[in-house]
Amino acid sequence: MARKNKRIGIFDSGFGGLHVTRYITQALPDYEYVYLGDTARAPYGDRPQETIYEYTKQAVDFLFAKNCGIVIIACNTASSDALRTIQQEYGAKKKVLGVLIPAAEEAVERTKNRRVGVIATTGTVASEKFVRELEKLDPSVRVFQNACPLLVPLVEAGRQNSPEADALLKRYLAPLLRNRIDTLILGCTHYGILERKIRKIIGPDIVIVSEARVVPRKLKQYLKKHAEIEETLRRKPGAHLYSTDRTDNFRTLGSKFFGRPIRVEKATL
């Protein structure tokens, strides 16, 4: 019988993954989690693909060293540029999942007019991974993307409630609305904290696909399907949070993403 001593690891380049982690821990509260935010080197969105791979590999190695039995890359840029290579390198022995495919699946299920919008970082948009995944799932879907390079720095600075945030969102969403989308993918984990503002701009009729809501449901389904992984996970509710940058700043802003006060330890990659 497998020993139940493994944790669930979650990685993001910054704070955004904490928003996803918040909902994962609510949906699956019985497990033990380890979160790593590479805030010292965030944002990843404009970095070269080789650099993103190197940073992501270091983060995944860190989480497996913390006794994680499965790792979720809760960063769309890393999922776009590094996930597949890392999965190939680890093989079947160590499971590494991303957030991009679950969001694409949800969008295809929800869209009615087959016109799907995506807002994401420059790197994710340039990779066209969302376009390929959506079209693979349903060739009739038309995908309209827009890069939003200024949103992550704004959120990381804690200015998500500023007038500047409103102005940027209106600017970034305008071309997608002109293309009559009926479904919008928030293609960066940071954008979840802006969901209310986005809803006010796009109105009530457009479906918002937020990874913070999709990933917990998909993870629950995955663990149910893969009993060989689920049976190794420790039943010890709690989350251990790590940051590669100043922990005081991470604790202050991260608490807003996580929905409650957090404790953070410094990580060296």
d(CA 110, CA 184): 10
Active site residue 148: no
Active site residue 75: yes
Token duo for residue 50: 């080789």
The one catalytic residue among 36, 74, 75, 82: 75
The set of residues, in sequence order, having a beta carbon less than 8 Å from that of 241 and lying 6+ positions away, is: 18, 34, 35, 37, 250, 254, 258, 262, 263, 264, 265
CB-neighbour burial class of residue 72 (10 A; exposed 0-12, middle 13-18, buried 19+): buried
44 in Cβ contact with 52 (< 8 Å): yes
CA distances from 191 to 63, 83, 212, 220, 235 (A): 24, 20, 10, 23, 31
d(CA 129, CA 137): 12
The one catalytic residue among 148, 154, 188, 193: 188
Q: Which residues pair with 154 in a beta bridge?
A: none
Instruction: Please list the active-site residues.
Output: 75, 188
